[in-house]
Amino acid sequence: MAMTSAISLLWPEGEAKQNLAPEAAVFDDLHLQEIFAAVCAPVPDFALADWYHAFPGKSMVIRHRQAILRDLLQPSIRSAWTIFTQRMQTLRRQLGRAQKLYHDRQRQRVFLDAIGSYQTIFSSLADALTAAKPRSRALCTVLEGLIHELQAPQRQEMHNTARELRQELDTMRYDLQISGSHVSLWRECLQRNVDEEIAHTFSRFLAAPSGEENAREEQEIGQMDLDPVQARVLDAIAELFPELFARLAAFYQRWAQPNPQAATDTVPALRIARYPFVFVPLLHWERELQFYLAFLEFLSPLEATGLPSCVPELCEEEKHTHADGAYDLALAARLRQEQQENPVLNDIDLHGSERILLVSGPNQGGKTTYARCFGQLHYLAGIGLPVPAQQAQLFVCDAIYTHFERREDAESERSKLEADLLRLRHDLERATPRSIFVLNELFHSTTLDDARFLSQELLKRLRHLDPLVLWVSFLDELSRCGADVVSILSMVDSKEEDKRTFRLLRKPADGLAHALSLARKYGLDYPQLLARIAHASPSS
């Protein structure tokens, strides 16, 4: 059964856990950094960031993850794991406090309870999962592993011993006497009960209507450390029942004593692996599932406002990629928080011999957002997560390369261009026909002529390599270069030409036409302007 424990919920069997991290630039350009930071923020203990930054680029991995994801989208399965993690987090905090208790016997007692809690949490998970009936092979295997461990003789024995000890400790009674500054204890309890005597004697008088009741003082749960007297009382009790407390100590030694050699894990959530009573594979599974669950939690408030998300279908053979009702996830999260609004949804489509989406149109029209959306869809699909769209069939790419125009501008124009081109060449060398490029306003700061030249050259190279490309450019003539290029236009309102709709549609780029109509509107086109000037200067 070693295989069962070794199963990973992120990497299918046989796959090496490769760390294929794309460049930081990709995360920044596509605003994925924002998204993953928001996803990880509520669960820092699980240290998930590295996993979001690893891009497998293989459909086998994606399918493995999607199967698990589909199971997790079942409310009963999702809640089983969510509840489990909530309880485990509480338990982790309790163990953290318990570890710091200075009094040995108290610590042993508290750990006894913690182990009982762990057992309950563990078996509740197994019960909930059994009832929920997962379909993915991975989660079924996990469930088998859980049940196997629960039934293992050692764990059963631990469970039974713990229960017995708790029972005996809870029902243990002794007599305690305080006389001046001396405390005495006896194993046997006297019979007399003064409370009962008083209650019984005066029961012949009827109860008064409850007016001023002294509030019962609750034992403070916060301060757990024993005060000096409680500590000595506990030691004295141990003297009264030496055998019971010896068993308690032995139990602690066996099941709760952390291994001093064990290195402290860098991942905080995994640190409790050093306790013998913890089933370590479950810790790892819990953490791996947070990869999915944390992301689903992040999507939750957006879905509540009506924004769609879906598990995409995968296109492997054909170079086909499609999404309906898609949006930039980072933008959506920001808009929701700042303005309580939703972004506009758009469609994306490349099929047949189409390879390049050429996006043009007026400034601030949503082109960059569209480009980011394109990138995000393929990235999220590529790591096996749901994508921000109503429905999608996305191309399985092996890598994503982004080139977004930077506005930093400290260096000179020339050295900046050099650096950009160098980077471009580097990417083109590494890329394959199964890669994706997202280019945004390249060569923006060079002259028009230079930009034309460079763009035409780049186009040639891209055609040669044959990846999928989304290219935002003001050079709309590129869109008329061939059947493999599709023109996408960011639209303005038909009535108010100033107003952006943030809708991007397949349309021939009309380039100058927009500028012309704008000029006409302000009376600045040739005929009107001429007339106005002529009118203004009557006789000169």
Partner 1 sequence: MLPHLLDPEKSLAAFPASAQEQHLVEDLGLAPLFTAMAEDDDERREIVERVILRWRCRDAATLRYRQEALTDLSAQPERAEAIFAIAQNSLDLPGQSHQFLLFSKSPSRRLRANTVLMQELLRQLQALRDLGSKEETFHSDALRKLFSRLQQEIDEGFLQAAQEALAALQLDEGVRSAAGADAAGRCVPEALHGGIGNQGWLGKLWRAQHEDAGFSIADRDEAGQTALGKLREQLLTQTAQVLDDAVARVLQFFRLLRDELHFYLAAITLQQKLHQQGLSCCLPEVQEGGGLLGATGLYSPLLPLRGESTVTNDIDARHTPLIIITGANRGGKSTLLRAIGISQLWAESGLYSFAKTMHTSLCQGIFSHFQQEEDAKLQHGKFAEELQRMQDIVPELRARSLVLFNESFAATNEQEGSEIARQITLALRDAGVRIIFVTHLYSFAKNLFDKEGEKILFLRASAEPEAQRFQLLPGAPQASSFAREIYQKIF
Which residues would be at the binding site for partner 1 (CB under 8 A)? Answer: 103, 105-106, 109-110, 113, 169-187, 189-190, 192-202, 204-209, 212, 214, 216-217, 219, 224, 226-230, 232-237, 239-240
CB of 191 to partner 1, least distance (A): 8
Residues constituting the chain: 540
CB of 237 to partner 1, least distance (A): 6
H/E stretch holding 440 reads strand 435-440
CB of 163 to partner 1, least distance (A): 14
In the chain, the amino acid numbered 437 is F
Nearer to partner 1, 74 or 106 (CB): 106
Nearer to partner 1, 224 or 421 (CB): 224
Nearer to partner 1, 223 or 539 (CB): 223
CB of 2 to partner 1, least distance (A): 37
- Angle at CA of residue 409, ends 408 and 410, nearest 5°: 100
What is the DSSP annotation of 48-96?
A: -HHHHT-----HHHHHHHHHHHHHHTSHHHHHHHHHHHHHHHHHHHHHH
437: three-class secondary structure by DSSP: strand
Considering only the C-alpha atoms of the chain, give the largest distance between any 2 of them, rounded to a whole number of Å: 126
CB of 219 to partner 1, least distance (A): 7
Please state the three-class secondary structure of 448-502 as a single string.
HHHHHHHHHHHHHHHHHHCCEEEEECCCHHHHHCCCCEEEEEEEECCCCCCCEEE
CB of 90 to partner 1, least distance (A): 15
Burial class of residue 224 (count of CB atoms within 10 Å of its CB; 0-12, 13-18, 19+):
middle
39 Cα distance to chain centroid = 4
Nearer to partner 1, 83 or 231 (CB): 231
> Residue 402 to residues 29, 303, 435: CA-CA distances in angstroms?
7, 28, 11
Nearer to partner 1, 96 or 433 (CB): 96
Contacts 24+ apart (CB under 8 A), 238-244: 238/105, 239/185, 240/174, 240/185, 240/186, 240/187, 241/172, 241/174, 241/187, 244/165, 244/168, 244/169, 244/172
CB of 115 to partner 1, least distance (A): 12
CB of 281 to partner 1, least distance (A): 29
User: Crossing angle for the helix pair 59-72 and 137-151, nearest 10 degrees?
Assistant: 60
221: which 2 tokens?
């749960």
Burial class of residue 244 (count of CB atoms within 10 Å of its CB; 0-12, 13-18, 19+):
middle
Q: Cα(409)–Cα(189) distance, rounded to whole angstroms?
A: 85
CB of 155 to partner 1, least distance (A): 22
Nearer to partner 1, 24 or 176 (CB): 176
Nearer to partner 1, 181 or 540 (CB): 181
CB of 297 to partner 1, least distance (A): 32
Nearer to partner 1, 111 or 401 (CB): 111
Nearer to partner 1, 58 or 174 (CB): 174
H/E stretch holding 326 reads strand 321-326
Burial class of residue 9 (count of CB atoms within 10 Å of its CB; 0-12, 13-18, 19+):
buried
CB of 187 to partner 1, least distance (A): 5
Nearer to partner 1, 112 or 139 (CB): 112
314: three-class secondary structure by DSSP: strand
Going by DSSP bridges, is the β-strand pair 356-360/485-492 parallel, antiparallel, or unpaired? parallel
- Angle at CA of residue 251, ends 250 and 257, nearest 5°: 90
CB of 238 to partner 1, least distance (A): 9
Nearer to partner 1, 1 or 176 (CB): 176
Nearer to partner 1, 205 or 522 (CB): 205
Nearer to partner 1, 225 or 341 (CB): 225
449: which 2 tokens?
């002529």
**Inter-residue contact 75 to 41 (CB < 8 Å):** no
Query: What's 403's DSSP letter?
Result: E
CB of 107 to partner 1, least distance (A): 9
Q: Cα(320)–Cα(392) distance, rounded to whole angstroms?
A: 11
Query: Measured between alpha carbons, how far apart are the two ends of the chain, in Å?
Result: 101
